[in-house]
Amino acid sequence: MSFNKMRLRRELFIACCLIAIGIGPINCLANSQSSKISSKIFQGCELSAIEKSHASIQFLLNDIKSTYPHTGGAGISEIKQTQTNVFVVSINQEERIDQLTYELSIDESCQVKLVKKEESAINFSR
């Protein structure tokens, strides 16, 4: 057996021993398939935080495009994530800023769902 193969087997053995006693990395080559399956069962959607934000913002834009009635003004000025699952969208109008607050959830199949939507306005007086 070559030196590299022996070294790899040794490192794999050490890694698996560390996992067995609870101080090693989560993935072991010997258990990689079962680790992937169990992580999906217990953690749900496997998207990264950036991918979840992207999916959520796309959901917001689609909702605004289909439901926002005021076509005048300057358009969207800000989309801000204020909590893990809450976004505030600001839309500039002539004498006010409309704010749409969305509470969203992402299910196990990574689909974005609307939990709650609230509308408010910040008025500017002259």
pLDDT attached to residue 111: 93
pLDDT attached to residue 45: 86
SS3 for 17-82 is HHHHCCCCCCCCHHHHHHHHHHHHHHHCCCCCHHHHHHHHHHHHHHHHHHHCCCCCCCEEEEEEEE
| Mean pLDDT by groups of 10 residues along the chain of 126 residues | 55 51 43 38 72 95 93 88 95 93 94 96 84
Q: CA–CA separation, 54 vs 57, rounded Å?
A: 5
Question: What pTM did the predictor assign?
Answer: 0.63
pLDDT attached to residue 32: 41
pLDDT attached to residue 53: 93
Residue ranges of domains in the chain, CATH in brackets: 3-43 (no CATH), 49-123 (3.10.450.630)
pLDDT attached to residue 3: 58
